[in-house]
C-alpha cells in the first residue's frame, strides 16, 4: 500500500513539474495581430509625430501570457517611419509590419538570448538605429550604450571614451543626437561597501555625442539642483519634452530643460496634481500643446492643455562651473596675487635702495644733508598740514622762510626758488617726475595760492626726512 502511494506521489510530482516546465517554455510568437485598439489608431494617425510611451498592463499588446516575460513591462516607440514594441529589460523588439483598417500586425525582429542586464534602460531610436543606454543587471548599474544589429538581429555594444552611469536621470535629445546625464549614480553590490548597494552619487553633468561616441563634461551640478534631486527620485519612465523632462518633487512639478540648462517650476496646482496622478507615465504622451492620457478601462483619451507658460524659471541652473575649473581659477588667481605682491615688494625695495643711494649722493654735495635748514622747516610745515588735509598760506611760508618783512617781489622769488629746489631734489632722490610740493588757488581769493604736499608722496617724504 505504501509502495502504491509512493508511485502515485512520484507520478503527481512529475506531472506537476512537466506542467510547470511546459508553461515556462512557452515561446513568444514570431508575429501577432492587434485589432480595434484606439490607442494604436490615435498614434498612427499622427504621421509626423515621434514619441516613446510606456504601456500599462491593461494596454499591453505583446502576448506574454504563459511566458517568462509575463511580469515585464512593455514600451512603444514611434518614429515617422516605424512603430516598435519592446519588452522592457529584455532586448525583445517587435516591429509594425502591416496595417489594414484597424488591424495591426507586428513581427519580431530580434534573436535576443541574454536578458535582465538592462533593467530600466533608456531605449530610443536615432538616425534609423535603435539604441539602449544604461540599466541595472547582475547586481550593478552600467553606463553602456548598445545598438541593435538588424543584420544579426542581436544587440551590439557601442564603445565610448568613458562609462558614465545613470540611475534613470537621463534624457535623450533626438534633435542633437545626445544623451544628457545630470549626475552619476554608481551601484555595484559586488563591492563590500554600504554605498555599493544604496548608490554613490557623483554630481558631475555630462552628455554623450552619438556621432563621436564621446562623453563631454558640462560642469558640476548646482547645489540647489542637487538638493532638489536628493529629496525624491525619478526615472526615465516619465514623459519627455522636446528639450528635457518633467520631474516631480513632493507636490510640485519641475521642467528640466537640458538644452538651455534651465529649470522651470509649475505655477498651477491643478497641473501638478494632474501630473502627480500620472507619475508612472503609462499610456501618456505629449503632442503639440496637449497631454494625451489613455484610459484602458474606457478605451478613450483624456487631454489637457500643456504650455511652457505654465512654468516659471527658478533662479539656479541644472549644472554650473566645473568644480575642477573653479579650483583651477582660484589657484591661478592666487598665483597672480602672489606674483603681483612679489613685484610690488621688489620694486618697493629697489626704490628704497635707489632713494638711499640718491640721498647719499645729494648729502655728499650738500654737506651731509639733502635738505637744509629752511627747506626742512618748510617741508615740516607743509607735511604737518597736509596730513590733516590742510593747505599752507603764503604768509605762513614767508614766516618760515624769514622773508615776511621783505617786499612782495622778493618774497615771490624766494618762495619760488625754494619750492623749485625742493621739488628738484625730491625728483632726483626718487628718480621720478612727481611734484612733491603743489599749489592751488584759494577758495575765497583766487589771486593767491595755497601750498600742500602731494598726498601720494607723504609717506615717501616722511621716510626721506627721517634719513635726512
Rounded-to-integer distance, Cα 174 and Cα 143, Å: 19
pLDDT at 4 over 50: no
Q: How confident is the model at residue 124 (pLDDT cuts 50, 70, 90)?
A: very high
Percent of the chain with pLDDT over 90: 47
pLDDT at 368 over 50: no
Better pLDDT: 262 or 396:
262
Joined grid coordinates for residue 269: 496646482
Q: What is the DSSP letter of 240?
A: B
pLDDT at 364: 47
pLDDT at 13 over 60: no
- Residue by residue, DSSP assigns 367-407 as TT-SS-HHHHHHHHHHHHHHTTT--EEHHHHHHHHT-TTS-
Mean pLDDT confidence for 208-221: 96
Strand arrangement, sheet containing 319-320: 171-173, 178-181, 204-209, 214-221, 319-320
- Structural element, H or E, at residue 440: strand 437-441
pLDDT in tens, 440-458: 888 888 888 888 888 888 8
Beta bridge partner(s), residue 307 = none
Mean pLDDT confidence for 157-164: 96
pLDDT at 455: 86
**Cα–Cα distances in angstroms (integers) from residue 17 to residues 9, 28, 170, in the given order:** 12, 21, 43
Which pairs from 125-129 meet CB under 8 Å and 24+ separation?
125/77, 125/79, 125/82, 125/84, 126/172, 126/174, 126/177, 126/210, 127/177, 127/210, 128/79, 128/81
| Range with the poorest average pLDDT among 124-138, 176-190, 316-330 | 316-330
pLDDT at 144: 96
Q: How confident is the model at residue 191 (pLDDT cuts 50, 70, 90)?
A: confident
Joined grid coordinates for residue 426: 625730491
Q: What is the DSSP letter of 298?
A: T
Report domain extents, the chain: 33-321, 353-467
pLDDT at 261: 97
Rounded-to-integer distance, Cα 368 and Cα 365, Å: 7
Q: Is 309 helix (H, G, I), strand (E, B) or coil?
A: helix
pLDDT at 12 over 70: no
Average pLDDT, the chain: 84
Q: Which residues contact 170 (CB under 8 A, 6 or more apart)?
A: 122, 133, 134, 179, 180, 181, 182, 236
Rounded-to-integer distance, Cα 402 and Cα 457, Å: 26
| Class at the top of the CATH hierarchy for domain 353-467 | mainly alpha
pLDDT at 79: 96
pLDDT at 363 over 60: no
pLDDT at 346: 66
pLDDT in tens, 317-331: 999 986 555 566 667
Alpha-carbon radius of gyration of the chain: 42
pLDDT at 359: 53
pLDDT at 236: 47
Sign of CA dihedral 191, 197, 200, 205: positive
270: Cα within 13 Å, side-chain hemisphere: 4
Better pLDDT: 352 or 50:
50
pLDDT at 239 over 80: no
Percent of the chain with pLDDT over 70: 85
User: Which alpha helices (DSSP H) does 46-123 contain, by range?
Assistant: none
pLDDT in tens, 254-306: 999 999 999 999 999 999 999 888 887 799 999 999 999 999 999 999 999 99
pLDDT in tens, 34-86: 999 999 999 999 989 999 999 999 999 999 999 999 999 999 999 999 999 99
b/e 245-263 (16+ beta carbons within 10 angstroms → b): bbbbbeeebbbbbbeebbb
pLDDT at 276: 85
Contact between residue 74 and residue 90 where contact means Cβ atoms under 8 Å apart: no
Mean pLDDT confidence for 399-422: 85
Among candidate residues 451, 417, 421, the one with its CA nearest the CA of residue 437: 451
Amino acid at each position: 500500500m505504501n509502495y502504491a502511494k509512493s508511485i502515485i506521489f512520484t507520478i503527481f510530482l512529475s506531472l506537476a513539474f512537466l506542467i510547470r516546465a511546459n508553461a515556462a517554455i512557452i515561446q513568444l510568437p514570431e508575429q501577432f495581430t492587434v485589432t480595434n485598439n484606439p490607442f494604436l489608431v490615435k498614434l498612427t494617425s499622427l504621421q509626423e509625430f515621434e514619441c516613446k510611451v510606456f504601456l500599462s498592463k491593461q494596454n499591453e499588446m505583446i502576448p506574454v501570457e504563459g511566458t517568462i516575460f509575463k511580469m515585464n513591462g512593455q514600451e512603444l516607440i514611434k518614429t515617422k517611419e516605424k512603430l516598435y514594441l519592446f519588452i522592457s529589460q529584455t532586448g525583445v523588439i517587435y516591429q509594425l509590419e502591416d496595417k489594414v483598417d484597424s488591424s495591426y500586425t507586428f513581427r519580431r525582429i530580434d534573436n535576443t538570448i541574454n536578458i535582465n542586464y538592462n533593467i530600466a534602460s533608456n531605449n530610443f531610436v536615432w538616425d534609423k538605429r535603435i539604441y539602449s543606454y544604461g540599466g541595472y543587471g547582475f547586481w550593478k548599474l552600467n553606463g553602456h550604450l548598445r545598438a541593435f544589429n538588424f543584420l544579426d538581429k542581436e544587440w551590439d555594444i557601442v564603445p565610448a571614451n568613458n562609462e558614465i552611469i545613470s540611475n534613470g536621470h537621463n534624457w535623450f535629445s533626438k534633435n542633437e543626437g545626445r544623451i544628457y546625464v545630470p549626475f552619476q549614480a554608481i551601484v555595484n553590490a559586488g563591492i563590500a561597501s554600504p554605498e555599493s548597494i544604496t548608490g554613490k552619487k557623483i554630481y558631475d553633468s555630462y552628455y554623450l555625442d552619438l556621432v563621436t561616441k564621446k562623453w563631454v563634461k558640462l560642469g558640476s551640478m548646482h547645489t540647489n539642483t542637487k538638493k532638489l534631486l536628493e529629496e525624491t527620485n525619478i526615472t526615465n519612465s516619465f514623459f519627455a519634452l522636446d528639450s528635457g523632462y518633467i520631474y516631480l518633487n513632493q507636490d510640485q512639478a519641475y521642467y528640466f530643460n537640458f538644452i538651455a540648462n534651465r529649470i522651470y517650476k509649475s505655477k498651477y496646482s491643478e497641473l501638478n496634481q494632474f501630473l502627480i496622478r500620472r507619475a508612472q507615465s503609462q499610456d501618456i504622451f505629449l503632442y503639440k500643446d496637449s497631454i494625451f492620457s489613455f484610459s484602458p478601462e474606457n478605451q478613450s483619451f483624456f487631454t489637457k492643455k500643456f504650455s511652457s507658460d505654465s512654468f516659471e524659471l527658478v533662479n539656479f541652473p541644472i549644472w554650473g562651473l566645473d568644480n575642477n575649473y573653479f579650483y583651477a581659477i582660484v589657484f591661478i588667481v592666487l598665483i597672480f596675487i602672489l606674483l603681483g605682491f612679489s613685484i610690488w615688494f621688489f620694486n618697493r625695495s629697489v626704490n628704497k635702495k635707489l632713494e638711499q643711494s640718491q640721498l647719499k649722493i645729494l648729502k655728499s654735495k650738500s654737506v651731509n644733508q639733502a635738505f637744509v635748514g629752511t627747506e626742512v622747516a618748510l617741508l615740516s610745515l607743509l607735511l604737518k598740514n597736509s596730513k590733516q588735509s590742510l593747505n599752507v598760506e603764503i604768509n605762513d611760508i614767508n614766516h618760515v622762510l624769514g622773508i615776511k618783512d621783505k617786499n612782495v617781489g622778493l618774497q615771490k622769488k624766494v618762495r619760488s626758488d625754494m619750492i623749485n629746489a625742493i621739488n628738484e631734489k625730491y625728483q632726483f632722490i626718487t628718480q621720478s617726475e612727481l611734484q612733491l610740493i603743489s599749489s592751488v588757488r584759494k577758495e575765497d581769493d583766487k589771486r593767491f595760492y595755497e601750498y600742500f604736499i602731494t598726498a601720494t608722496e607723504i609717506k615717501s617724504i616722511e621716510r626721506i626726512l627721517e634719513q635726512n
